[in-house]
């Protein structure tokens, strides 16, 4: 059997590093803790929930998430499953964050033998990092680090719903590290995501005018359009922050050009600024289109649904046929036809009639 060993061991370090991202979850699974009713606490699942919690807050642009917020989330989602109070959940939240982000300030790591290089090596990774702090409340906030995002992405295909938001998160990381070539590739992916989203909005626009034939279908499309509109608004806010960050970086780099390497980096950030601005412009057009879709298109569809209901109503079939085909009790018959009866009339003579000018 002829096997290419080199192709098997290629990029062995990178593969081990991706596997190592799961180590903190397995460390959590080794914790032997029980609640007040002696029921085991599944730290593995709680640790993964914590990752999803921080990821969702990143998508929501919420930068104030710490141990207290995580504990409140655990307590809310628990719904009596574990016999624990808030202080217990706060302790759990602190333990989980310490596993993902060691309190000694060192990054998580794993030693391994690299079969590609034939050497003992170590890979380091960071799942959660400190974001900002509120010194008045003595509170530290946290967010997912780059490898934390990779770990979450490894568990689900998020790109259908949140492709653009994820591109924005990764782009910010690359810009902060000065990886401008990678940032340009990320912007290309964002441009593709905007085009795909435009196609989806146009498709929904046509479907709204064609397919809404009942209130149930109307409500479904209404919810879809509202979700798209909310997500576009959040993405637009992030685009504004990204462009501000790029412009500040460009101005700073423009004042610090000394070597040829600095000049090339400055040219790259100019290109990033230009292409990001173009994607932002195209995305803002989509936001306007979604607002129009949310108002005019849905209103027109609702009106069409109303008038089609009137046109499709047949008095002879719905009322006359129902009344005589299966004889109904007098009370039921009166209830059936009452909405179509005239208002009660009264005919009388008024003494004021003598003053009328009869010409």
Q: pLDDT tens digits for 296-337? A: 666 665 665 554 544 445 555 556 666 666 666 666 666 656
Q: What average pLDDT does this structure show over 250-274?
A: 87
The verdict on residue 318 lying in a domain is no
Same domain, 299 and 174: yes
Q: Which residues contact 337 (CB under 8 A, 6 or more apart)?
A: 319, 323
Which residue, 94, 122, 153, sits at the end of a domain? 153
pLDDT of residue 349: 67
Among 104, 128, 153, identify where a domain stops. Answer: 153
pLDDT of res. 312: 47
Within-domain flag for 268: yes
The structure tokens listed for 128 are 């959660």
Q: What are phi and psi of 120, to 5 degrees?
A: -75, 130
CATH of the domain at 189: 1.20.58
List the single range of 98-102, 139-143, 336-340 with lowest mean pLDDT: 336-340
Q: Are residues 98 and 211 in the same domain?
A: no
Q: Which residues pair with 111 in a beta bridge?
A: 122
Percent of the chain with pLDDT strictly greater than 70: 77
Q: Which of 250, 251, 253 is nearest to 275 (CA)?
A: 250
Residue 140 within any structural domain of the chain = yes
User: Which residue, chain included where needed, has tokens 């900002």?
Assistant: 132
Total domains, the chain: 2
pLDDT of residue 177: 83
On the 0-12 / 13-18 / 19+ scale of CB atoms within 10 A, 324 is: exposed
Mark whether 149 and 33 lie in a shared domain. yes
| 24 located within any domain | yes
Q: Is residue 330 part of a domain?
A: no
Domain assignment of residue 3, yes or no: no
Does some domain include residue 346?
no
Short-list 106, 87, 92, 101, CA closest to 49: 92
Task: Show Cβ contacts of residue 18 under 8 Å, excluding neighbours closer than 6 positions.
Answer: 150, 154
Domain assignment present for 5: no
Asked if residue 138 and residue 108 are part of one domain, the reply reads yes
Is the domain of 165 the same as that of 149?
A: no
- Whether residues 148 and 181 share a domain: the answer is no
> Which tokens belong to 352?
């004021």
Shared-domain flag, residues 175 and 307: yes
Same domain, 128 and 200: no
User: Is the CB of residue 219 less than 8 Å from the CB of residue 308?
Assistant: no
Residues 110 and 175 in one domain: no
Backbone φ and ψ for 34, nearest 5 degrees, come out as -130, 155
Question: Contact at 8 Å (CB) between 217 and 204?
Answer: no
Say what the pLDDT of residue 317 is.
Answer: 56
Q: Which residue has the higher pLDDT, 24 or 190?
A: 24
- Mark whether 128 and 245 lie in a shared domain: no
Q: Say if residue 78 is in the same domain as residue 136.
A: yes
Which pTM does this prediction carry?
0.55
Residue 103, classed as helix, strand or coil, is coil
- Cα–Cα dist 22/16, whole Å: 11
**Tens digit of each residue's pLDDT (9 = 90 or more) over 184-239:** 888 888 887 888 788 888 887 777 666 555 566 667 777 778 888 888 888 888 88
Residue with the larger pLDDT of the pair 64 and 310: 64
Q: Assess whether 128 and 205 both reside in one domain.
A: no
Which pair of structure tokens corresponds to residue 165?
């938001």
Domain end among 153, 173, 207: 153
d(CA 21, CA 99): 12
Residue 210 is part of which domain span? 159-311
Which is it for strands 128-134 and 108-114: parallel, antiparallel or unpaired? Answer: unpaired
């Amino acid at each position: 059997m002829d096997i290419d060993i080199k192709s098997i061991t290629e990029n062995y370090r990178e593969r081990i590093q991706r596997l190592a991202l799961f180590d903190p979850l397995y460390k959590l699974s080794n914790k032997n803790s029980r609640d007040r009713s002696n029921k085991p606490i599944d730290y593995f699942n709680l640790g993964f929930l914590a990752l999803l919690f921080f990821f969702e807050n990143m998508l929501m642009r919420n930068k104030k998430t710490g141990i207290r917020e995580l504990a409140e989330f655990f307590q809310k989602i628990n719904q009596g499953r574990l016999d624990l109070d808030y202080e217990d959940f706060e302790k759990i939240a602190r333990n989980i964050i310490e596993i993902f982000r060691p309190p000694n300030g060192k990054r998580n790591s794993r030693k391994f033998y690299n079969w590609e290089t034939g050497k003992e090596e170590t890979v380091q990774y960071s799942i959660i990092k400190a974001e900002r702090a509120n010194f008045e409340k003595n509170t530290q906030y946290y967010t997912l680090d780059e490898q934390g995002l990779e770990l979450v992405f490894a568990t689900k295909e998020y790109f259908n719903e949140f492709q653009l938001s994820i591109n924005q998160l990764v782009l910010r990381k690359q810009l902060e590290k000065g990886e401008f070539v990678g940032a340009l590739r990320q912007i290309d992916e964002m441009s593709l995501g905007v085009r795909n989203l435009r196609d989806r909005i146009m498709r929904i626009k046509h479907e709204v005018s064609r397919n809404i034939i009942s209130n149930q279908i109307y409500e479904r499309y209404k919810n879809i359009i509202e979700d798209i509109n909310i997500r576009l608004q959040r993405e637009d806010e992030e685009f504004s922050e990204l462009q501000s960050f790029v412009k500040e970086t460009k101005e700073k780099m423009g004042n610090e050009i000394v070597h040829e390497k600095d000049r090339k980096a400055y040219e790259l950030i100019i290109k990033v600024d230009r292409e990001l601005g173009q994607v932002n412009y195209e995305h803002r057009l989509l936001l306007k289109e979604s607002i129009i879709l949310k108002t005019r298109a849905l209103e027109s569809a609702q009106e069409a649904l109303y008038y089609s209901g009137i046109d499709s109503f047949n008095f002879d079939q719905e009322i006359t046929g129902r009344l005589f085909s299966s004889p109904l009790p007098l009370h039921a018959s009166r209830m059936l036809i009452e909405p179509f009866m005239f208002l009660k009339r009264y005919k009388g003579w008024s003494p004021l009639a003598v003053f009328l000018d009869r010409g």
